[in-house]
Structure 1
Amino acid sequence: MNIIIVGCGKVGYTLVEQLGGENHNITVIDTNEEKVNSITDDLDAMGIVGNGVSFQTLSEAGIDHADLLIAVTGSDEQNLLCCVIAKKAGHCKTIARVRNPIYNNEIAFLREELGLAMIINPELSSAAEIARIFQFPSAVKIDTFSKGRIELLHFRVTHDCLLNNYELIHIRTTLKCDVLVCMVTRGDQVLIPRGDFVFREGDVVAIVSTPPKANDFFKKIGIGAGRARTAMIVGGGTIAYYLARRLLEVGIHTKIIDQDPARCEHLSELLPKASIICGDGTDERLLIQEGLENVDAFAALTGLDEENILLSLYAKRTSRAKVVTKINRINFSGVLSDIKLDTISYPRLVTADMIIKYARSMNESLNSNVENLYKLEDGHAEALEFYIKEDSAVTNVPLNRLHIRKNILVCSIVRGGQAIIPSGQDELHVGDYVVVVLTHARLNDIKDIIEG
């Protein structure tokens, strides 16, 4: 497809990086020449210096032939206006990033009235992801499918975990757990394991299951599954606001620490049930005074990656809290994996995943829709959810008789609202929602799972 991206900040750069791997023709627009040059020098994209709201600039970028325009400048209003002009000028699909909480209750109205394909709020999506983690602290990461009926949970095998030196096949035969191990990350390797696979300490394991059965599994392997009751957030930005609101809604007592008095006053008005502390979140004495040693969950959400990393390491050393670290830059992901932080949240990767999902679903000729997509392990693996629209070579045939390509695993089927963890005898039917995990490959359609 021909894609135009307006805005060359961190999110714009990540989008070009991720979408470039999908074999699209990409043109970027920004008023900052240095940012445009940075992208065009590093990545496979054309660049134009100009204002994305300008019809002339959009014409120069090829709006007449564009299939998709994505507006991710720093201004919500500019993003919306850019999409409106693009639709009038070129009749392409449009996506706008809108982050200000003031628009949160108006997203559906704006999308419908302005004719947008999608409005993305990465801060809201990141907050939702962190809130899920705090409600299930055993997991390092949680991805949801089929409106929460199916979850992909990532957790680390510890020294005293039952899975340490345990053979995979025994999870079903001995533990009698209805979960499917779909991926294991060991060092730099990302594996889809077979029944004879033996877990080791330090492995990051991804399982697919329903929430109740996942709880049962974690209890049996000796990992606590109880949710957090108290949470501390350092940094009072937009993600912190969305996160605190979610946590308070489910009864988790929440405390926010920020050093900007005006921001603290604003948060006190928006979140009357939260405890808002005005102070330096990097001050050890303040953190101890505010009860860091006894909290169940801790989120480092300041605007500085380095500060978030140090805060998280201190929280891990000082407390038994589940710790989440927000990272804006992803250049040092290898180093971060060596540090072994609990959970890392990358807001701009959330945006990229949502847009890639939409881009893959734009081909109307396919016999299935891409309903969800998550990039896993720095892009080395993917989890996709398909909705099967019509019969094809993969339907009405037992899975063990399909010639499924190497490094692809069918993880779950949701049929009539009921979740199924599939065995070899299960079949795919029209109307099913199917979750597939894969490494070293790419899928646009459910038919792509079989050898051609």
Structure 2
Amino acid sequence: MRIVIVGDGKVGSALAVQLSKENHDIVIIDSNKMVLQESEQSLDVNVVYGNGAALKVQKQANVDASDLLIAATSADEINLLCCILARKLGCAHTIARVRNPDYFGQLFLLQEEFGLNMAINPERATANEISRLLQFPSFLKREAFARGRVEIVELVLKSDSVLNGARLLDLYKIVKVKVLVCAVKRGSQVVIPDGNFTLLEGDRLYVTASTSDLARLIRSLGIAQKKVRDVLIIGGSRIAFYLAEDLIKAGVNVKLIEIDENRCIELAENLPKATILHADGSDRFVLDSEGLAQTDAVVTLTDFDEQNLIISMYANFLGTYKVITKINRTEFSEVLNEKGIDCVVSPKDLCCNDIARYVRAMGNRKGGSVQALHRLVEDQVEALEFTATKQLPHLGEPLYQVALKPGTLIASITRRGKVIIPSGGDCIEPHDNVVVISPAERGIADLSDIFIDD
């Protein structure tokens, strides 16, 4: 597939890396020659220098012959203009990054006029992710499928856990909840396990469960679950604003520290129920005086990864119950885990996942297109949701009779609103929502790709 990316910043470059790995023909447009040169040298992509909203530049990039244009510059207006022009030239699909809440809220009215197939707001998506993590603070990650009915959650196996030393075959006997361990990270090793796999202390587990069973799972595992009532947010970014709004609606007390006085005034006007402090959130005296050690949760949302990491490490040192860290450079995630920074969110990664899902859905053939895509275990494993079509092979056949590709696992089936954590006797029927676990390098785009005989 031929894809044009306008903007070679954090999101644009991450998309170029991901989509080129999936063997798409990528063209990057940017007005920074140095950035383009770096991308051309490090990736198998073509580059075009210039303003992506200019007609001659889009023609030079052959947008008219492309399948998709993704506008990911730092300016919403430029992104929307890029998409309008691309559709006029004949590009079949367009995606725009739109960050301004005033624009994003009205896009559903103007989507057709702008020629948009999809609009993404990384800040809104990140705030939603953090809100969900604060609902169940025992989990390090929560990924939702089947319209929120199914989740894959990440947790670390402690030495006193009832699962320490247990075989997966005995999982239901121990926890009395129908769940499926779909991936395990042990040291540097990543496993998509079978029933004979034995769990050990320190394993990072990725568990599939019905959303309604998450609270039961926590109780069965004996995990102490404290309700988050007070949250300290460091940094007054757009993410912080969206997050504060969500938390206040949920009845949570919010205290927000921002170093820019004008931004403090703006936040105070728009968040009258939050406590807004004009101070340096990276100053230890400020953190101590504002009760960092006593607060239920701290979320670091400054514009600097280094600052977020230092504040989070200090919060962990003080024993803060829940610490969530925003970072953009996720390539050092293994190092972060070793330092206790294990609950991390990345706007760039959330944005890339949504776009990768859309691109794979465009390539759908017969079995069912990608409805949702989440990357697990430091991007080494993918969890994908599909809706099964009537053309899917092996419909109605018990799963124990069906040969799946190595390392592939069916994590859940949702049928008419009912969640099934499948065993060998279950089957896939037309219109089922199916969540599949697969190695990331396989890049599954169609549900029929999971079968050996496809």
The alignment's TM-score, normalised by the length of structure 1, stands at 0.97
Amino acid at match of 1:148: G
- Match in the other structure for 2:406: 406
CA apart distance, 1:112: 3.1
Query: Does the residue aligned with 1:103 lie in a helix, a strand or coil?
Result: helix
- Match in the other structure for 1:186: 186
- Match in the other structure for 1:322: 322
Structure 2, unaligned runs of 5 or more: none
Moved more, 217-226 or 133-142: 217-226
Query: Does the residue aligned with 1:174 lie in a helix, a strand or coil?
Result: helix
| Alignment check: 8 A CA contact 1:394 1:447 kept | no
Deviations 1:371-415 (A, max 9, x none): 000122232110000011223313111111101111011011111
- Match in the other structure for 1:92: 92
The CA distance in 2 between the partners of 1:32 and 1:226, in whole Å, is 48
- Match in the other structure for 1:384: 384
CA apart distance, 1:178: 0.9
CA apart distance, 1:337: 2.8
- Match in the other structure for 2:26: 26
Query: Does the residue aligned with 1:331 lie in a helix, a strand or coil?
Result: helix
- Match in the other structure for 1:350: 350
Query: Does the residue aligned with 2:266 lie in a helix, a strand or coil?
Result: helix
The CA distance in 1 between the partners of 2:308 and 2:267, in whole Å, is 20
The CA distance in 1 between the partners of 2:389 and 2:271, in whole Å, is 44
| Alignment check: 8 A CA contact 2:232 2:254 kept | yes
- Match in the other structure for 2:416: 416
CA apart distance, 1:109: 1.7
CA apart distance, 1:342: 2.9
- Match in the other structure for 2:208: 208
- Match in the other structure for 1:219: 219
Matches within 5 A, 1:336-347: 336-347=336-347
Amino acid at match of 2:220: K
Amino acid at match of 2:448: K
**2:23 aligned with 1:43, yes or no?**
no
CA apart distance, 1:144: 0.3
- Match in the other structure for 1:445: 446
- Match in the other structure for 1:173: 173
- Match in the other structure for 1:246: 246
The CA distance in 1 between the partners of 2:276 and 2:174, in whole Å, is 49
The alignment's TM-score, normalised by the length of structure 2, stands at 0.97
Matches within 5 A, 1:186-335: 186-335=186-335
CA apart distance, 1:212: 2.6
Tell me how many residue pairs correspond in the alignment.
Answer: 452
**2:388 aligned with 1:375, yes or no?**
no
- Match in the other structure for 1:61: 61
Deviations 1:304-326 (A, max 9, x none): 11111110010111133211111
The CA distance in 2 between the partners of 1:37 and 1:82, in whole Å, is 22
CA apart distance, 1:358: 0.3
The CA distance in 1 between the partners of 2:305 and 2:78, in whole Å, is 27
The CA distance in 1 between the partners of 2:57 and 2:151, in whole Å, is 43
| Alignment check: 8 A CA contact 1:395 1:429 kept | yes
CA apart distance, 1:159: 2.3
State percent identity of aligned pairs. Answer: 40
CA apart distance, 1:167: 2.4
| Alignment check: 8 A CA contact 1:135 1:226 kept | no
- Match in the other structure for 1:120: 120
The CA distance in 1 between the partners of 2:337 and 2:39, in whole Å, is 26
The CA distance in 2 between the partners of 1:395 and 1:411, in whole Å, is 17
The CA distance in 1 between the partners of 2:392 and 2:399, in whole Å, is 14
| Alignment check: 8 A CA contact 1:215 1:225 kept | no
CA apart distance, 1:108: 1.1
CA apart distance, 1:364: 5.0
The CA distance in 1 between the partners of 2:342 and 2:323, in whole Å, is 6
Query: Does the residue aligned with 2:429 lie in a helix, a strand or coil?
Result: coil
- Match in the other structure for 2:82: 82
| Alignment check: 8 A CA contact 1:292 1:319 kept | no
Amino acid at match of 2:437: V
Query: Does the residue aligned with 2:369 lie in a helix, a strand or coil?
Result: strand
Structure 1, unaligned runs of 5 or more: none
Q: In 2 relative to 1, CA 65–146 (structure 1 residues): closer, same or farther, beyond 3 Å?
A: same
The CA distance in 1 between the partners of 2:93 and 2:420, in whole Å, is 35
Deviations 1:216-273 (A, max 9, x none): 1111112123431111110110111111111111111111111111001101111111
CA apart distance, 1:176: 1.9
- Match in the other structure for 2:52: 52
Give the alignment's Cα RMSD to 1 decimal: 1.3
| Alignment check: 8 A CA contact 1:372 1:385 kept | yes
The CA distance in 1 between the partners of 2:416 and 2:246, in whole Å, is 29
CA apart distance, 1:284: 1.6
| Alignment check: 8 A CA contact 1:14 1:348 kept | yes
| Alignment check: 8 A CA contact 1:391 1:429 kept | no
The CA distance in 2 between the partners of 1:64 and 1:104, in whole Å, is 26
Q: In 2 relative to 1, CA 298–101 (structure 1 residues): closer, same or farther, beyond 3 Å?
A: same
Q: In 2 relative to 1, CA 393–326 (structure 1 residues): closer, same or farther, beyond 3 Å?
A: same
| Alignment check: 8 A CA contact 1:322 1:342 kept | no
The CA distance in 1 between the partners of 2:39 and 2:155, in whole Å, is 35
CA apart distance, 1:345: 0.7
The CA distance in 2 between the partners of 1:179 and 1:226, in whole Å, is 22
Amino acid at match of 1:441: R
The CA distance in 1 between the partners of 2:413 and 2:452, in whole Å, is 21
Amino acid at match of 2:263: R
| Alignment check: 8 A CA contact 1:394 1:446 kept | no
- Match in the other structure for 1:136: 136
Moved more, 334-343 or 197-206: 334-343
Deviations 1:120-174 (A, max 9, x none): 0011101101110011101000000111110110111122222222322222123
CA apart distance, 1:111: 2.0
CA apart distance, 1:205: 0.3
| Alignment check: 8 A CA contact 2:259 2:280 kept | yes
Moved over 3 A (4+): none
